[in-house]
């Protein structure tokens, strides 16, 4: 064990050294590049040949030989061309979330030659991420997702700048970070962050390309689009997220990949399309060709795409109207009544005397003088993946009517009934439902497992899978 820890420390040191050397190389390339006369465009972050006898293949003194060769396949497209490629090389894109959506989006943006890509993610790589988050590998477990993504992207394109942000985006830092970029990609999985990104994008006048993926379905649209008055006859402004969704949905109606699952290719499809919309927007496509005021829906079950029309911009929107009510960022967890960090969710519904630890549950199960019933309230698929021996499955979404009556009868027949779930949240809800419908003299029999099966795995059975 000591040898493993020493090796991990050495690897961590080498990673940090590599990061420092890559940054040093990046600065050297930028400093060695000759200045372009009378150019108002930002300089390309790459190394030019210093041999004056070598003819440089350029366009308008802006696009060097290496860029023409590297990006030739997309430069050949009339919708991009040399001018469009120049715009991509000078663009700065911020990706919020280095997960299932952010990873494929970042891959294609890096490949396209976006000048600078920022990646925000507070989380660390977990083994459950790797089936869909393609920038991370097995060797990256417990490593910052933002750092892991940045390292992989640098191996894809060393000529661009990658800036990782290992922070939780919130009202205190959003405007400062986002104001450095041209486009923002919402690759998150929670409602508070969506409202935060929307409001910050409106305040910084940035377009927001928003994607989502869950189970076998994905969605994509563009919020906050603004046309340039000197290009189009009429200035057009698309709806923001609040125009379409003025109020957040109830927290209990919002699903997540960790709770509901997702097929890996689904966020792959949506993330790739987010990158495509960003490229189109940056090269100057008008709103008619973008997903502005339209929502793309991808159904992986039957592999179909369809688009639905969204509400137009609300001229009385509290954030994007001419006279907004919201002029500064707020507490979005309070506004949405839900947390931005799903992994930190820890409901406190039951009183302490109605809850037991994993160790206490183990002792009770090993006691032969009492009849102890375990009721697992996870869905059938989860129950079939792994379960404690002897547990019976009553999915929480089915706990109503006759099912509650069945459980009440089992409570009368057993000395104790313990509800269990994955993390100790749904089990509290289920226990509370039964406690509210049972006689007072049987209530002391009903318990729930603190921390759920995660706690059971950590404290009792280390072979029990955590997912």
Lookup result for tokens 């590049």: 33
* 181 touches 223 (CB < 8 A): no
Helix axes 265-283, 102-112, angle to 10 degrees: 40
Please report the pLDDT score of residue 342 as a whole number: 61
Strands 208-214 and 217-223: antiparallel
The Cα 426–Cα 335 span in angstroms is 23
The Cα 107–Cα 147 span in angstroms is 14
DSSP per-residue string spanning 112-161:
HT-SEEEEE---B--GGGTTT-TT--GGGTTSBHHHHHHHHHHHH-TTSE
Please report the pLDDT score of residue 43 as a whole number: 41
| pLDDT lower than 50: segments of the chain | 33-61, 344
Domain spanning 347-459: CATH superfamily: Rhodanese-like domain (3.40.250.10)
User: pLDDT for 243-268, tens place per residue?
Assistant: 999 999 887 677 777 778 899 999 99
* 141 touches 125 (CB < 8 A): yes
436 CA to centre of own chain: 37
Residue 89 annotated as catalytic: no
User: pLDDT for 356-408, tens place per residue?
Assistant: 999 999 998 988 667 889 999 999 999 999 999 999 999 998 988 889 999 99
What's the distance, Cα to Cα, between the start and end of the chain in Å? 24
Q: Of residues 201, 240, 257, 317, which has the active-site annotation?
A: 257
Return the H-helix or E-strand segment holding 355: strand 355-356
In the chain, where the domains are located: 71-343, 347-459
How many residues does the structure list for the chain? 467
Q: Of residues 201, 243, 336, 421, which has the active-site annotation?
A: 421
Nearest to 23 by CA among 157, 176, 154, 156: 154
Please report the pLDDT score of residue 343 as a whole number: 55
Please report the pLDDT score of residue 41 as a whole number: 38
| CATH number of the domain located at residue range(s) 71-343 in this protein | 3.40.50.720
User: pLDDT for 163-188, tens place per residue?
Assistant: 999 999 999 999 999 999 999 999 99
What pTM, to 2 d.p., does this model score? 0.76
Tokens of 303: 């592999």
Residue 257 annotated as catalytic: yes
């Amino acid at each position: 064990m000591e040898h493993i820890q020493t090796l991990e420390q050495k690897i961590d040191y080498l990673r940090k050294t590599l990061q420092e050397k890559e940054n040093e190389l990046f600065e050297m390339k930028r400093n060695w590049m000759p200045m372009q006369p009378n150019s108002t465009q930002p300089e390309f972050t790459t190394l030019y040949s210093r041999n004056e006898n070598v003819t440089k293949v350029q366009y308008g003194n802006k696009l060097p030989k290496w860029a023409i060769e590297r990006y030739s396949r997309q430069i050949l497209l009339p919708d991009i061309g040399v001018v469009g490629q120049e715009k991509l090389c000078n663009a700065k894109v911020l990706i919020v979330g280095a997960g299932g959506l952010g990873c494929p989006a970042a891959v294609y943006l890096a490949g396209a030659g976006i000048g600078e890509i920022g990646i925000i993610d507070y989380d660390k790589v977990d083994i459950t991420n790797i089936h869909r988050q393609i920038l991370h590998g097995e060797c990256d477990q417990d490593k910052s997702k933002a750092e892991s993504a940045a390292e992989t992207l640098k191996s894809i394109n060393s000529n661009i700048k990658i800036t990782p942000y290992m922070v939780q985006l919130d009202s205190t830092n959003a405007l400062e970070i986002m104001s450095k970029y041209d486009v923002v990609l919402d690759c998150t999985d929670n409602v508070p962050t969506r409202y935060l990104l929307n409001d910050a994008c409106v305040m910084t006048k940035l377009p927001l390309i928003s994607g989502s993926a869950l189970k076998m379905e994905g969605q994509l649209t563009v919020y906050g689009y603004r046309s340039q008055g000197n290009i189009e006859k009429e200035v057009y402004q698309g709806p923001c997220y609040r125009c379409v969704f003025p109020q957040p949905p109830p927290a209990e109606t919002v699903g997540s990949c960790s709770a509901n699952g997702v097929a890996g290719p689904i966020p792959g499809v949506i993330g790739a399309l987010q990158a495509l919309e960003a490229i189109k927007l940056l090269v100057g496509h008008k709103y008619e060709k973008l997903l502005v005021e339209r929502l793309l829906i991808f159904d992986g079950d039957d592999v179909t795409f369809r688009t639905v029309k969204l509400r137009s911009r609300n001229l009385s929107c509290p954030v994007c109207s001419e006279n907004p009510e919201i002029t500064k960022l707020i507490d979005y967890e309070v506004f949405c009544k839900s947390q931005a960090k799903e992994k930190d969710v820890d409901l406190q519904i039951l009183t302490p005397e109605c809850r037991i630890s994993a160790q206490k549950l183990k002792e009770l199960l090993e006691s032969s003088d009492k009849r102890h019933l375990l009721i697992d309230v996870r869905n059938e698929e989860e129950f079939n993946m792994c379960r404690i021996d002897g547990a019976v499955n009553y999915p929480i979404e089915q706990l109503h009517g006759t099912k509650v009556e069945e459980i009440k009868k089992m409570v009368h027949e057993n000395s104790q009934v313990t509800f269990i779930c994955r993390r100790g949240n749904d089990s509290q809800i289920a226990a509370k439902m039964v406690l509210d419908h049972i006689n007072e003299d049987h209530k002391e029999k009903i318990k729930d497992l603190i921390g759920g099966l995660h706690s059971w795995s950590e404290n009792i059975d280390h072979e029990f899978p955590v997912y």
